[in-house]
A and B are shown apart, each in its own frame.
Chain A
């Protein structure tokens, strides 16, 4: 078997892990490159539990990690980044650099880019939410960190909040900011977190301020109705525009579009539902592998809805949130699809030779 029998997978989140596992299952070799010192990507590093069934992330993802860790056909390279790529389909010469600066050139036949997303930084453009002004304004990710410790408190006091507000679409669906897309998961995540908060603090009042709730597929039933009916979470249509401090509370200002009037309400804790943007790694890979980015900044695929993983560069595929907002289900499905296509194209090459 030549080097053309190896598929390089960049990024070891849900999409990359599944791609590596599939490549191995299809009888080829996978080389899995990850910049961090840990497998599992954003969910493993940042979230306490996952939608829809609130399973603990580490537990839920462990078998995915094991599948590549203990797999002789998967060569895992942690603390490693791609710095250069030459050649093309069948013979890509990719330069890798490890954390200590050592470089090596690897020859691989095809590539799957699964470098994922980064969370929208709520301070960058929506300063009016005061994320960098007030301790008690946090993001979904900060909340997950607290859930990992089994609590939810106001960072300013360390005490449990009595009133909690989620603000949806922070950094998403906002043409002004330039993110003209829905991040797909944050409605579900906020609803999931509201259930977790009510489980921990049954007397707390929890509000979700939204433009419209986008709870697609089973999440509608599994999370949204459950939050409202079983946990009495308040969904209020109307987006918050500004958060300021009043005494020791946060005053949120906005418009209640059902009642058709402006509103000002006091909260103890505000959670910003930040969405997804292409990660720095994704942007970097677009440059290194010469993959064009589509209008929203993510990696471009050529098949529209009929081929979700092929990029315009022959032999290079993309999977997961590097190609746009995705939940884990979609990311994993794309990982497998990208792997199958990569292996398929290598098989055809071998036949032609």
Chain B
């Protein structure tokens, strides 16, 4: 069917009906009580969410504890490889807010990507990787904060399996014991974008630019809110509580406009199997179904999302469509990068936008950021490194 050339009315709820959240009537279970119960029975150690924490509303009205500080950062293979400014921005924001966090250097991958493409081993091995990472966090005394939407969704599936399957629990426990590590389940599994949601007010107080002229479209990550959906953040104030509030709440709080578009619920195109075996499909889905639709319906200045795979496919697929002269060309980044820019982070030293494929400079100009000056500063850094005056950039250079 040909797209219909009518602008989508916006993100506002168009009914006077009010949705009453009632955790009592929800058919899905709240695993957290079962996790504590298993802890009391000695099945595993439960790592409590450290104080101070933020209580965020979830889909059915249960409250989820989001740690503010003492977080252990479970990064993402894609993030560090393709979009290094993604995680740097998260750390930088932690530093700006004066939060204590831990940046581990010995974490393993979650292997979920291969799992979703039917390319990995077995259930116990999958679960053991998750539990190994949780034990690694526990050993440092910091609380796991999962950067990657895929790991996040996958770990929640693993948690569900481990709660319900005593045999699997025994198998995985044996593996973790062989590794000489404690068998630990965190009280909550928390995504970094939930942390962004929790600190959005603190960030908005530090915004340095007028963002009211900036229009963003949000792509929510499927693995964030479509898997084990019960504890994704849903805020009654955002989309009337009918769509996840992750990303959108932060962007609105920072003062930018969020526009709706008709393929909001669709995948970014990454699709796990597709990116591996049908890359052309990924490229065309990302551009024709997502970016072009956004451009036609909302004409955004930037696309914001909260998963590595999504940023990568939406950003890096556009070159192909651009080569065909299609209506694409919108910068894509994580909301952590966007928020960092808004509160004064350096676009290159911190947000590392030079790793991105679509031209982000018009956006930065519109935000009021002096791109040319920033680029000159960055080039000067590079020169210093070249000439041995500086080994590498440190946090002291960027805060």
Contact = CB atoms under 8 A, between A and B. Distances in A.
B27 interface: yes
B264 interface: yes
Contacts of A263: 1
A247 interface: yes
B25 A280 contact: yes
A130 B242 contact: yes
A130 B60 CA distance: 16
A286 to B, nearest CB: 13
| B13, B14, B24, B240: most-surrounded residue (chain A CB, <10 A) | B14
B1 A264 contact: yes
Contact of A133 (B15, B27, B59): B15
A246 B262 CA distance: 8
| A121, A124, A241, A280: most-surrounded residue (chain B CB, <10 A) | A124
Contacts of B264: 244
B27 A277 contact: yes
A180 to B, nearest CB: 9
A251 B262 contact: yes
A244 to B, nearest CB: 5
A127 interface: yes
Contact of A177 (B13, B28, B239, B243): B28
A177 B4 CA distance: 32
Contacts of A247: 4, 6
Contacts of B28: 125, 177-178
Contacts of B240: 132-133
Interface residues of B, number: 28
B60 A123 contact: no
Contacts of B387: none
Nearest to B225: A127
Contacts of A137: 15
B19 A132 contact: yes
B262 A132 contact: no
11 contacts: A123-B19, A127-B242, A132-B15, A132-B19, A132-B241, A134-B14, A135-B16, A178-B27, A179-B27, A244-B264, A283-B24
B271 to A, nearest CB: 15
B265 A124 contact: no
B18 interface: yes
B8 A245 contact: yes
A56 interface: no
Interface string B216-243: 0000000000000100000000011111
B9 interface: yes
A194 B28 CA distance: 32
B242 A132 contact: yes
Interface in B292-350: none
B27 A132 contact: no
B243 A127 contact: yes
A156 interface: yes
A249 to B, nearest CB: 9
A123 B59 CA distance: 10
Given A178-B27, A297-B27, A156 B60 contact: no
Contacts of A99: none
Contacts of A124: 19, 25-26, 60
Interface string A266-281: 1000000000010010
Contacts of A130: 242
A128 B226 CA distance: 11
B397 interface: no
A135 B25 contact: no
B4 A121 contact: no
A242 B18 contact: no
A121 B59 CA distance: 13
A131 interface: yes
A245 B9 contact: yes
A177 B8 CA distance: 29
Nearest to B234: A127
A18 B17 CA distance: 35
A155 B14 CA distance: 11
A24 to B, nearest CB: 35
Interface in A128-182: 128, 130-135, 137, 155-156, 177-179
B8 A156 contact: no
A242 B222 CA distance: 14
A131 B16 CA distance: 11
A135 B242 contact: no
A266 B3 CA distance: 12
Interface string A94-136: 0000000000000000000000000001011101101111110
Contacts of A127: 242-243
Interface string B28-61: 1000000000000000000000000000000110
Contact of A132 (B4, B9, B13, B24): B13
Nearest to B2: A264
Contact of A135 (B1, B4, B14, B24): B14
A280 B239 CA distance: 27
Contacts of B262: 244, 246, 251
A69 B366 CA distance: 73
Contacts of B15: 131-135, 137, 155
B234 to A, nearest CB: 8
A137 B240 CA distance: 15
Nearest to A296: B27
Nearest to B27: A178
B330 to A, nearest CB: 20
A239 to B, nearest CB: 15
Contacts of A135: 14-17
Contacts of B241: 132
Interface string A232-273: 000000000110111100010000000000011010000000
A284 to B, nearest CB: 10
Given A123-B19, A245-B9, 17 more contacts: A121-B19, A121-B25, A123-B17, A125-B59, A128-B265, A132-B241, A133-B13, A133-B14, A133-B15, A134-B14, A137-B15, A156-B14, A177-B27, A247-B6, A251-B262, A280-B24, A283-B24
Contacts of B17: 123, 131-132, 135
| B18, B19, B243: most-surrounded residue (chain A CB, <10 A) | B19
Contacts of B9: 245
A110 B229 CA distance: 43
A245 to B, nearest CB: 6
A194 B14 CA distance: 25
A263 B16 CA distance: 29
A133 B6 contact: no
Contact of A246 (B6, B27, B59, B239): B6
A132 B6 contact: no
